Amino acid sequence: MAASSADSPRISSIYRYPVKGLSGERMARAELAPGATLKADRAFALENGPSGFDPAAPSWQPKIKFLCLMRNAKIAALDTRYDDSTGTLTVKRDGRMLIEADLLKPAGRAALESFFQGFMGGEARGPVRLLRSPGHSFSDVAKKVVSIINLQSVAALGEAIGRTVHPLRFRGNLHVNGWPAWLETQMIGHEIEIGAARLRVVKMIQRCAATEVNPETAERDMDVPQSLYRLTGEDDCGIYAEVVSGGTIAEGDAINVP
């Protein structure tokens, strides 16, 4: 049974990223299913020039084939929201609506592609094309996983470099409060319980230049991978976990590591 004391580790926030590289959406609760990601997490990607991705036979592709923060910091300036019920993506900047497009219809996809072709300018390496294949996730890893960020580790990194490090730099699904800093590095192979859901930790998350981008300013203002390496001897922050048993999770839920 999951721990329930007031000071037990808990989920601070839940995020999903419907379009790879674009902004995250905070969720009050989420349904976890065995062997799956959060609903619609990385369900779409914006191909930056021909990638070779085949929607009829989807396979993992490296992030550099798509618009991504590692290469394209400017996309962090966009605030995006996806509506599951209508398939509509809204794109805003500084509160101003830039485009609203139905990603499930050809006309909507074409409109979004045209918008990003113009927005990216010289950073477009070819035609920008919206990719989707039902059931496929454009994750940074081939497995379908949930990414978990320990907020105390992020705070420890900030203390070490004398700067505030925004947790959204790490684009994780679950933010955890209450674990000691870097406890997650000892969790590989262990299981985590969140209510009825169980997840098995499978891998540390190696960090790239995407974390250099400030999610509030869209500027590259911090060498996070190098700072992590100087502090810990690795450029890892966060863990990937596979869902073993499903269930509904919510902000504030206690987390137990049996």
Give 7's pLDDT tier (boundaries 50, 70, 90). Answer: low
In SS3 terms, the chain reads as CCCCCCCCCEEEEEEECCECCCCCEEECEEEECCCCCCCCCCCEEEEECCCCCCCCCCCCCCHHHECCCCCCHHHHHCEEEEECCCCEEEEEECCEEEEEEECCCHHHHHHHHHHHHHHHHHHCCCCEEEEECCCCCCCCCCCCCEEEEEHHHHHHHHHHHCCCCCHHHHCCCEEEECCCCCHHHHCCCCEEEECCEEEEEEEEEECCHHHHECCCCCCECCCHHHHHHHHHCCCEEEEEEEEEECEEEECCCECECC
Does pLDDT of 63 surpass 70? yes
Annotation: CATH topology of 10-35+142-250: M1 Pyruvate Kinase; Domain 3 (2.40.33)
Tell me what the mean pLDDT of segment 77-96 comes to: 98
Please report the pLDDT score of residue 258 as a whole number. 81
Residue boundaries of the structural domains of the chain: 10-35+142-250, 44-132
Does pLDDT of 3 surpass 60? no
The pLDDT tens digits of the residues spanning 182-223 come to 999 999 999 999 999 999 999 999 999 999 999 999 999 999
Task: Tell if the pTM clears 0.85, that is, is over it.
Answer: yes
